[in-house]
Chain A
């Protein structure tokens, strides 16, 4: 019997063919130069038995949807007609033909696309293409989350069905993105083009994820710009004992009223003697990290490795395609109990850097990882599949692989342990406290070099009831400082919390708003900037939008330099942060000021759509119902935007052309 296997991309096709065939397969070229057909024999077991297999692949989505030719013009028919305009599907002809041809001789089609929503949809596209050649072909799906040999062989012998619900969710998403994206992009571009200047030639794209993402950047920008610093006061107590100096902090922390602080301070001074009210020594621990999800991987990569989220995902995908790490798109932060994690740890014992640590785990140090609360039921947390010597990886691949592996080993290790001493004392009516920590066992910290935990200064002995006159009681004064501009890690966290994009697409949206010049990156200066006060803020605030061209250039240059110096030197400074361009500000404020229920710059509409996708997957709603509801909702917003387009134009005049309102 003949079986046709189709993977999502060439690297997976080749890897799976290699494993199933035991390494000996014949390679045939196709009309597409990236796609090869591999043929070999394999025993699928079950009812299929020994089969003659052709393994091929697609290159991501096989089809794309678009409007018919009558709708190609940007102004006629008007953009709002796109909400209901007919849609046609096109496929990548040569690839689809290859599948149809191969399907003719096969009785069974096995889908080997990535096991996520998009992969499920691509699977259906493959099925559609195959049925053109052979309407009677049977369809199965292989469930796998990495391309390690044993895992692939198991997947091949435990075939499952394609999940129609996920297919429907994705096809709803694709249709909505097309209609909403095109309608609003044309609407915005057409209307703002007339303002001339830099807007005359630009395509001002709208995306239901892009805009809320931009909205976060604009929102933070204004929080920084509008910030008003305020003074605050506190009381700090120091005491010297046994040759050690201890600093106690005030239970009230700080007060934003000088008179009250002075009043309480005076009473402290009058009280003279402090009395120890509590001395408590208890074990404490620093928790090892949770198993790694995509969102956490991106955050760590931008924060610790100075990569962009998109770079990190591209690299991670490369590592996955080569079989070094598990599938990097996952929401799961708990390992299945049945997984043999010790075997995975064992594979790392040969490494020069963390081999001894891994060996220690194998020799009895192994602990089951902590369990997070997320499980996408498709993929395990990201973990290393095989050990790779750094010499076969590029510099950045090596760093990302190192992070994934160290994180995994940390998960399989033990929390760091220490002893904490809490001392509380009363001076008059006021309470003060201090805490001392002694680290006893570093455990996971030995391998997880990205975190640290240090002993605090050693505390002298105190006993409850002990009274003493503090060496010094000081009134302190400080000033609030503005929040920082968003880093990529901040932005990813915001998108994650607000349901904007999936873990797999967030990085793309962030890249998109940079490509569209809605936001630019600047390099956050040294920490001194924070304390420098109003003058500095003002300067930065005014500088950012003005530097639309320049700011981007600088951002790029910075990245280049960072790569060269491998970002080791300037870890503390040189962090990339996002600021909106004048155009970005104008678009978001334009929509915000239209004052209808839900601005396009806010996350609410998109979040609802994302929840609907989930609901389709869970079977609690249907594709048709979601399409009807979402299209109606966005169309309503569209019509309102049309009515109030003057508000958007005014915002552009104000921010892009620098005209004052009313001018």
Chain B
């Protein structure tokens, strides 16, 4: 049966996290006769990108896949390079170019159902209200473009600098900073649980991975539960980090 190596090659060709043999076997034997390679690949991809890399019980990820070196987060090491291609998942993301308070104000405005465009205050209508009201026509057009969830996306601008917290298969967490702007990275754009391939040679300085488009491939994906919790807690975390949660 050469279906397994064939599928494995297809998965690796897409730079996806390396699958375990168990996972490949389960996939290829779940149905008989097995579905064609493209649909197997699609299933595998969806599962891999939605999985938690650190979850050993589900055994989706190849247990021999490369992980971070033990001292990767050592601030004493001025500069080192990753020796191997390493798959990681996003645990947190921050925009370091915006003050936290600025982000707090924006999130609070969105909570109130407002959004500002220049000096203009725009009312953001929740989609379900907008549809069944006859007189909502003037605001309905804006509904599509700026419903609260979408409104939380800040593309970040050409010079924005984001810092991510990345986690490897063994649960090791490390900071990563955009040394060069990577367009796929942004608050609301980058999902929690998204998978990233850090290529061999990527620079790690003072315990922080320096991201550039050449050394960092965004694979997509998301762990729904994590992402939701992260979104819900974002305002509180921002407030906490500026000390605005404490009474002054």
Contact = CB atoms under 8 A, between A and B. Distances in A.
A608 B135 CA distance: 10
A493 B99 contact: no
17 contacts: A223-B105, A226-B244, A227-B101, A228-B101, A230-B101, A253-B97, A254-B97, A256-B97, A256-B98, A257-B94, A266-B206, A429-B210, A493-B119, A496-B119, A598-B123, A604-B123, A608-B138
A263 interface: yes
Task: Pick the 5 closest A-B CB pairs, nearest first.
Answer: A497-B119, A497-B120, A255-B96, A228-B242, A230-B99
A611 B138 CA distance: 9
B120 to A, nearest CB: 5
Contact of A260 (B96, B114, B118): B96
B161 A255 contact: yes
A648 B11 CA distance: 62
A252 B181 CA distance: 10
A259 B206 CA distance: 10
A429 B135 contact: no
A226 B104 CA distance: 11
A629 interface: yes
Nearest to B120: A497
B179 interface: yes
B163 interface: yes
Contacts of B179: 429
Nearest to A231: B99
Contacts of A256: 96-100
Contacts of A480: 99, 101
B183 to A, nearest CB: 16
Given A228-B101, A230-B101, A629-B135, A253 B159 contact: yes
B159 A494 contact: no
Contacts of B105: 223
A54 B179 CA distance: 80
A263 B161 CA distance: 13
Contacts of A254: 97
Max chain B Cβ within 10 angstroms of own Cβ: one of A267, A493, A538: A267
A302 to B, nearest CB: 16
Contact of A255 (B97, B119, B205, B242): B97
Interface in A481-524: 493-494, 496-498
B70 interface: no
A158 B160 CA distance: 60
A629 B136 CA distance: 12
B97 A228 contact: no
Contact of A232 (B94, B99, B119): B99
B135 to A, nearest CB: 6
B121 interface: yes
A267 B97 CA distance: 19
B176 to A, nearest CB: 11
Given A255-B161, A263-B205, A604-B123, A497 B118 contact: yes
Contacts of A255: 96-97, 161
Interface string A317-340: 000000000000000000000000
Given A252-B159, A263-B206, A603 B98 contact: no
A498 B104 CA distance: 23
Interface in A614-656: 629, 633
B243 interface: yes
Contacts of A260: 96, 161, 163, 177, 208
A459 to B, nearest CB: 22
Nearest to B243: A228
Nearest to A480: B99
Contacts of B210: 429
Interface in B118-141: 118-121, 123, 135, 138
B97 A252 contact: yes
A440 to B, nearest CB: 30
Contacts of B135: 629, 633
A286 B50 CA distance: 53
A602 interface: yes
A497 B116 CA distance: 11
Interface in A532-551: 534, 538
Contacts of A608: 138
Nearest to A612: B138
Given A228-B104, A255-B96, A498-B121, 10 more contacts: A230-B101, A230-B242, A252-B159, A255-B161, A256-B97, A263-B206, A493-B119, A497-B118, A497-B119, A534-B248
A341 interface: no
A531 to B, nearest CB: 16
Interface in B154-185: 159, 161, 163, 177, 179-180
A432 to B, nearest CB: 12
Contacts of B205: 263, 266-267
Interface in A180-238: 223, 226-228, 230, 232
B159 A230 contact: no
Most interface-central of A493, A602, A611 (chain B CB within 10 A):
A602
Interface in B79-125: 94, 96-101, 104-105, 114, 118-121, 123
A193 B190 CA distance: 54
Nearest to B104: A228
A252 B244 CA distance: 26
Contact of B119 (A226, A267, A498, A534): A498
A251 B104 CA distance: 25
Nearest to A490: B119
Interface in A559-609: 598, 602-604, 608
B177 to A, nearest CB: 5
A498 B120 contact: yes
Contacts of B97: 252-256
A604 B105 CA distance: 20
Interface string B139-155: 00000000000000000
Contacts of A633: 135
Given A223-B105, A267-B205, A604-B123, A228 B244 contact: yes
Given A227-B101, A228-B242, A603 B121 contact: yes
A251 B180 CA distance: 11
Contacts of A611: 138
Interface in B188-224: 205-206, 208, 210
Given A228-B101, A267-B205, A480-B99, A251 B159 contact: yes
Given A252-B159, A253-B159, A608-B138, A263 B101 contact: no
A241 B25 CA distance: 68
Nearest to B134: A629
Contacts of A603: 121
A496 B120 CA distance: 9
A50 to B, nearest CB: 52
Contacts of B244: 226, 228
A253 B97 CA distance: 8
Nearest to A227: B101
A472 B131 CA distance: 60
A259 B205 CA distance: 11
A598 B135 CA distance: 13
A233 to B, nearest CB: 10
Nearest to B212: A429
Interface string B229-248: 00000000000001110001
Contacts of A257: 94, 96, 163
Nearest to B98: A256
Contacts of A259: 208
Contacts of A538: 248
Nearest to A431: B159
B119 A494 contact: yes
Contacts of B101: 227-228, 230, 480
A256 B242 CA distance: 11
Nearest to A633: B135
Nearest to B103: A256
Contacts of B161: 252, 255, 260
A604 B112 CA distance: 13
B171 to A, nearest CB: 22
B100 A230 contact: yes
